[in-house]
Amino acid sequence: MIGAGKAGFELDPRLERDTAPVLWLGLCELRLMDDRRWPWLILVPQRPGAVEIHDLTPLDQTMLTFEANTVSEALSQVTGCHKINTGALGNVVSQLHFHVVARNENDPNWPGPVWGYGQREPYRREDLHGFIEKIRARLS
């Protein structure tokens, strides 16, 4: 599933800063939010200018669904979490990106949402790399 980026696609600099690369899927670049409070993956469709899911072509909508659900199931299996939360907000970073977050009943903002809650807490480098390797192994 690893492939090259799409022509003309550039990752938003805030997404670049707050996340680390995991894999390139068929449509999306898959990244890990560098926030150890929650196992939190982000899919970014490699389509320049995309903002809303409903503005993607039907084929891209279907691809995003397939990739997001594959990632969601993998994250659920790797973490053994209680619940997956998914969402596409884009109120701060308008570049279309899709969140897949593993939630547990004792996590920092349960049962509230992860978005907009407190401050990001970066992983230690070895923990970041270890978690990315687990996700890659499950998806490969």
Residues that bind a copy of itself (CB under 8 A): 51-54, 58, 61-62, 64-66, 69-70, 72-73, 76, 83-92, 94, 103, 109-113, 115-116
Work out how close the CB of 16 gets to a copy of itself at its nearest, in angstroms, rounded to a whole number: 19
**What single DSSP character describes residue 53?**
G
What distances in angstroms separate CA 7 from CA 10, 46, 94, 109, one per listed residue?
A: 9, 9, 20, 38
Distance CA 59, CA 62 (A): 5
**Measured from the CB atom, is 77 or 121 closer to a copy of itself?**
77
Work out how close the CB of 87 gets to a copy of itself at its nearest, in angstroms, rounded to a whole number: 3
**Measured from the CB atom, is 89 or 137 closer to a copy of itself?**
89
**Measured from the CB atom, is 5 or 69 closer to a copy of itself?**
69
